[in-house]
Structure 1
């Protein structure tokens, strides 16, 4: 069968089964279109139904999460865990607590995770999970009760050799601690490797908090170097103000860039003299308040309601680190008109497919999420290694390993793009390089 016809047939089948899941369909369509040149060379992937199996999760778990607030009122949320592919290792992927979480979001994240985890070169499969619970405005006790209820079901489906969750939006060190404590109580054993992103005192890894942001910068730095460019003297915009954004800002500043804007779900701040990261960390990591508080510390800065306006600020490098589809076609065109030379995706699928086309057609260096933001899961796997060996590596050792992994990801993605005739298109390169390792493992393991 013609490879393009085969891909179209598979995608139409996915649409029939998942027609009400736009984010998942968007992720699947991008990957499938990338695989046509691979399938033209390797008919065995078609003959063994690799792609049909790849787009269908091995397991999807949906469950009720009841919890009681501080006033004694009962609330019920919906929890999810998708165990998408275990061909190269146990399922690995974060938990997201956010009101927008639904089956489509979790499946798109889990599908992307297959390729991202493959690109790290580490033995971890793809999974994702979460709940439509909003931790914002909740007390620590309410969050603890929710996490305990969530884990009272999730524990049945996870384990250090089965499925290893981590954090994502709305799930940081506090939430991981509550989840781990409940798991330990239920299982009556200290299974440190069941969750990553843990506190340093109970099996966590140094550099884990910084890993996704640092890894993003290491990837973009290597992408720039390939074109004889670097961060020094560049103006940078970073959306978001969570872990990814904060530590992307930190590393970009270390490399000589001026980061002039960051955001949260309510709006963004613009500081033409450069974002003062100490204030951002105080607001977000200590006070847990909105980014609008920034102008109390820096009255010369500007605060604007709404998030899309951040992409109208003139910059050399744009790093979307907030959420999916935050850069649309119009925002991409404005960035290009304003002279952006590179975009690195710190969030999962933060650019729409139309926006990606604008960047690629305009010869903007573009680091896709499944490659550029793989530093977090890579360091999670390093945390698993330390747990298995009952060792704790230094910050420098983990950071050095992380940097090597991100550079290797760039080299592998770039090589795959060149080999399949799409040089400089790292979107196709990432999809192809991530796919090949998983597909070969699936061939060798039989039709399961």
Structure 2
């Protein structure tokens, strides 16, 4: 609900301009509603039209991607890069290759990225990109040709001090390698223009693990600070089976929890004995298989069609790591009824506004995505630092820095929540802490 006239006016303007972009408007509304006490405490933000500029991307790039499949047939996809806000550093954010990609989806992701990147305390602005190309079922040669065509256009808009993309859904090490190779060939330069690169050509140790590990470091610190509790002895429900889910499972298990689920777009597996991560890694990282194979290989486990069914499993902690809006109001109520008292988000915006309302009404410890899953972009920024210095840090060095960043995000969020009269609210605190830094930079740099 909007109680501040300025904030309400800005959101209504967004509705008029972007009424056909539901994902973007959902993200904007969630952020603006929580920023009302911040805006009321800073009249200079309205004077300098900070909110109006904050929700409007600095640049929207949309382009055609034409490529040829293995049968010799031309294919055409749409490519996007949203350069949203560069007030505190070069644009930074992933590329998503998935049929669901639209301008609205990329704008919502880029908007969230502004705050996420600010929370890391590192000098990186917000951006996002991608295409409606689906790498699933494509040969390596087809993926390579698509990536080369995509980068042929994108390369004129990015650079190590301008915009540094990374991976997201559908863009892993294979895709980043093809994208980097094409950039290098066209621009004739060897630079840290992409993160998530292979270790052989400028990648960082711990980058693959970073989002999942960071999610657990964040959750562990929030549990410790707000509940005097930990992962030890808890049953954890995790959705997804990509990098975020795999390494969140790994770290949760290391911290003493029992993870009992994994899922993909077809369905989910439940293993009451605890997920065998070696099997999941072999299926998903080894040969890009489907998660139902797990039940065929692990006695005592069950496979169920329908990925949303994962939220009917009983547990203590839920870590959604699949995709946006995967937990709706009904699923949230089921989680609460089944004993879940902690939800921290590994995917981007996996809970609908109605689901978040259920969490708050029932006292669930809720860690929003922009804070809880910031470990990936934080480690990407650490990769940028290593590239700039022409150095490689050890896994332990990177992991230690990641841990400290995630702990810092929890406490900075709680400090901001307390400052604005909402003690213990990690959602409001994350939005407020991230926004203040960006807003103050925007005011200092003038009307741009």
TM-score, normalized by the shorter chain, greater than 0.5: yes
Please name the residue that 1:372 is paired with. Answer: 372
Please name the residue that 1:444 is paired with. Answer: 444
Please name the residue that 1:218 is paired with. Answer: 217
Residue 383 of structure 1, CA deviation = 0.2
Unmatched tracts of structure 2, length 5 or more: none
Please name the residue that 2:168 is paired with. Answer: 168
Residues 356-415 of structure 1 deviation map (CA, whole Å, 9 limit, x = unaligned): 011011111010000000000000000000000010000000000000000000000011
Residues 138-190 of structure 1 deviation map (CA, whole Å, 9 limit, x = unaligned): 00000000000000000010000000000000000000000000000000111
1:63-102 to 2 correspondences below 5 Å: 63-102=63-102
1:400-411 to 2 correspondences below 5 Å: 400-411=400-411
- The question of 1:279 aligning with 2:276 is answered no
Distance 2:445 2:361 in 1: 39
1:53-132 to 2 correspondences below 5 Å: 53-132=53-132
1:269-348 to 2 correspondences below 5 Å: 269-348=269-348
Secondary structure of the residue that 1:13 maps to in structure 2?
helix
Over the residues paired in the alignment, what is the CA RMSD in angstroms? 0.8
Distance 1:300 1:287 in 2: 23
Distance 2:438 2:189 in 1: 32
Residues 16-41 of structure 1 deviation map (CA, whole Å, 9 limit, x = unaligned): 00001000000000111111111111
Distance 2:16 2:56 in 1: 13
Residue 49 of structure 1, CA deviation = 0.2
Please name the residue that 2:16 is paired with. Answer: 16
Distance 2:160 2:280 in 1: 35
Please name the residue that 1:398 is paired with. Answer: 398
Distance 2:352 2:238 in 1: 17
Unmatched tracts of structure 1, length 5 or more: none
Please name the residue that 1:155 is paired with. Answer: 155
Distance 1:369 1:101 in 2: 19
Please name the residue that 2:39 is paired with. Answer: 39
Distance 1:90 1:3 in 2: 34
1:413-432 to 2 correspondences below 5 Å: 413-432=413-432
Please name the residue that 1:25 is paired with. Answer: 25
Count residues with an aligned counterpart.
446
Residue 299 of structure 1, CA deviation = 3.1
Distance 2:312 2:178 in 1: 40
Secondary structure of the residue that 1:256 maps to in structure 2?
coil
Distance 1:79 1:28 in 2: 23
Q: Could you state the TM-score of these two structures normalised by the residue count of structure 2?
A: 0.99
Residue 3 of structure 1, CA deviation = 6.9
Distance 1:3 1:440 in 2: 23
1:198-209 to 2 correspondences below 5 Å: 198-209=197-208
Distance 1:346 1:252 in 2: 13
> Which shows bigger deviation, 109-118 or 423-432?
423-432
Secondary structure of the residue that 1:223 maps to in structure 2?
helix
**Contact 1:3/1:39 (CA < 8 Å) preserved in 2?**
no
Residues 223-262 of structure 1 deviation map (CA, whole Å, 9 limit, x = unaligned): 1001111001100011000000000000000011000001
Please name the residue that 1:197 is paired with. Answer: 196
Displaced runs of 4 or more, over 4 A: none
Distance 2:339 2:424 in 1: 19
Q: Could you state the TM-score of these two structures normalised by the residue count of structure 1?
A: 0.99
